[in-house]
């Protein structure tokens, strides 16, 4: 399995089967899944806590650290897919809609290489 050959539908199906085989849907309420997602995101952040920007980039070259980060990212992704399954949200459509909004909110000619038209205001991100 790899990103180039695997669809979101396949991944959602894998998560759905895993959950159903264990009869865990009874626990997979949006509340519980959103909380689990936040916990896993915090565990991902722990790997970078107290590192400088340069040290955090160096994680890519340390196989043991990178493997641990990949596991936490997989946990985050798994809960996100489970939540999409439970709520019937099409993640590809949601992302496409959000990117359209982001393109309007952060025009490339004004935000290229900076976080604001005059380097003022909140730092950019893909949320907001």
**pLDDT greater than 60 at residue 44:** yes
Residue 54 lies in a domain: yes
Q: Which of 15-19, 55-59, 123-127 has the least mean pLDDT? A: 123-127
What CATH number has the domain bearing residue 16?
1.10.287.1080
Split at pLDDT 50, 70, 90, the class of 112 is confident
pLDDT of 98 over the 60 cut: yes
In a domain, 120, yes or no: no
Residue 22 belongs to a domain? yes
Cα–Cα distance measured from residue 66 to residue 5, given in angstroms and rounded to the nearest whole number: 22
Q: Work out how many domains the chain is built from and give that number.
A: 1
Domain that holds residue 94: 8-110
Global pTM value: 0.86
Tell me the pLDDT tens digit for each residue of 49-65: 999 999 999 999 999 99
Residue 125 forms part of a structural domain: no
Instruction: Give the integer Cα–Cα distance in Å for 118 and 111.
Output: 9
Residue 65 lies in a domain: yes
Domain assignment of residue 31, yes or no: yes
For tokens 């004004």, the residue is 110
- Residue 15 corresponds to which tokens in the numbers above? 């998560």
């Amino acid at each position: 399995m790899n990103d180039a050959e695997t669809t979101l539908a396949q991944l959602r199906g894998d998560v759905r089967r895993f959950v159903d085989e264990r009869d865990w849907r009874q626990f997979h309420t949006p509340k519980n899944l959103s909380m689990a997602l936040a916990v896993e995101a915090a565990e991902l952040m722990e790997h970078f806590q107290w590192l400088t920007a340069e040290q955090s980039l160096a994680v890519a070259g340390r196989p043991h650290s990178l493997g641990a980060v990949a596991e936490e990212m997989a946990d985050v992704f798994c809960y996100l897919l489970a939540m999409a399954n439970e709520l019937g949200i099409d993640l590809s459509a949601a992302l496409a809609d959000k990117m359209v909004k982001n393109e309007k909110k952060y025009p490339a000619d004004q935000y290229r290489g900076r976080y604001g038209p005059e380097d003022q205001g909140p730092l950019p991100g893909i949320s907001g």
